[in-house]
Copies of this chain bind each other. A is one copy, B any other.
Amino acid sequence: MRPIITLTTDFGVSSPYVAQVKAEILCRNPDAAIVDVTHTIGTQNILEGAIVLDDVARRFPAGTLHVAVIDPGVGTDRRIVYVEAGSQRYLSPDNGLLTLVARRTAPSRSIVLTERCFWNADVSNTFHGRDIFAPVAGHLSLGVAAEELGPSIHGIVTLPIPEPQITADQVAGNILLSDSFGNLITNIRHEQLQSLGPLDQLNVTCEGRTILGVGRTYGDKSSAELIALVDSQGRLEIAIVGGNAAQAIASPGASVVVQRGTRDS
């Protein structure tokens, strides 16, 4: 089986920096199958990167290596880590990018990269994606053992990403980010909604607007209507049918409250 390496960065769409990373991987292992996750994480937006990695990485075949480079501290003394969690493997700056991955499944191994023999001979100050991450990924895909990369560590840096507050009457969470359609993704999960009652009898309130009922599909309401539904990641999502909720309704960070109610109330 071809080794699979994924890339998640904030380099921008169609950035030639991405191709330089791929070149360094392919110089070590021309048979690597490289898959772009996304290169449009907001510049230096570690939270957005953490959410995307958690959504996407665990769906890949076991043993896939996920290279994540959202790295505002490049060139400083921040560490670069290799982490195994669940069935997946990760290379990331140790800046919180793996917060949600590690919250979902505690890492079984974390290593800090120190062995320069696996890096490019010349390491620039501003492009460790090309000069450290890519060469190490290439070596790992060829079977280099992780313990050769550097010493084990016991913890990685995590971000204080909020969890919803759950009471008998409500779940209070937040907008985490907006997707490419302008749909608003919250930190409230399907099973937390279900604990309140039947989904079609819940009210969702955000920025002074209340949506009656959590629906199943965009087709449940008419064009331009505001809708709440459980998205494909199992999270509560707020959207405008055929429209852009991020522009019209709320921004990341905004409060979202779900309460038991009825469509008739």
Q: Give the one of A1, A2, A23, A56 with max B CB within 10 A.
A: A23
Mask, A46-90, CB within 8 Å of B = 1, is 000000100110011100000000001111100000000000000
Give which listed residue, B6, B33, B61, B219, contacts A75 with CB less than 8 A.
B219
Which chain B positions have C-beta within 8 A of A19? 6, 35-38, 56
| Contact call A216/B125, Cβ cutoff below 8 A | yes
Interface range on chain A: under 10, 10 to 19, 20 to 34, or 35 or more? 35 or more
CB distance from A2 to the nearest CB of B (A): 6
Copies of this chain present in the complex amount to: 3
A219-B73 contact given A4-B26, A55-B16, A61-B26, CB 8 Å threshold:
yes
Question: How far, in angstroms, from A179 to B16 measured CA to CA in the complex?
Answer: 9
Question: How far, in angstroms, from A10 to B19 measured CA to CA in the complex?
Answer: 15
| Contact call B16/A2, Cβ cutoff below 8 A | no
A247 part of interface (Cβ distance < 8 Å): no
Which chain B positions have C-beta within 8 A of A6? 19
| Contact call A13/B126, Cβ cutoff below 8 A | no
A167 part of interface (Cβ distance < 8 Å): no
CB distance from A191 to the nearest CB of B (A): 13
Question: How far, in angstroms, from A40 to B40 measured CA to CA in the complex?
Answer: 14
Question: How far, in angstroms, from A17 to B179 measured CA to CA in the complex?
Answer: 10
| Contact call A38/B16, Cβ cutoff below 8 A | yes
| Contact call A75/B40, Cβ cutoff below 8 A | no
Which chain B positions have C-beta within 8 A of A2? 30-31
Give which listed residue, B30, B72, B130, B218, contacts A72 with CB less than 8 A.
B218
| Contact call A16/B125, Cβ cutoff below 8 A | no
Mask, A180-214, CB within 8 Å of B = 1, is 11000000000000000000000000000000000
CB distance from A62 to the nearest CB of B (A): 9
6 other contacts beyond A23-B60, A27-B59, A74-B217, with CB at 8 A cut-off?
A14-B38, A15-B179, A16-B55, A23-B56, A73-B219, A125-B217
Show 6 residue pairs from A and B whose CB-CB distance is below 8 angstroms, ordered by the A residue.
A2-B30, A20-B59, A22-B35, A26-B61, A43-B242, A72-B219
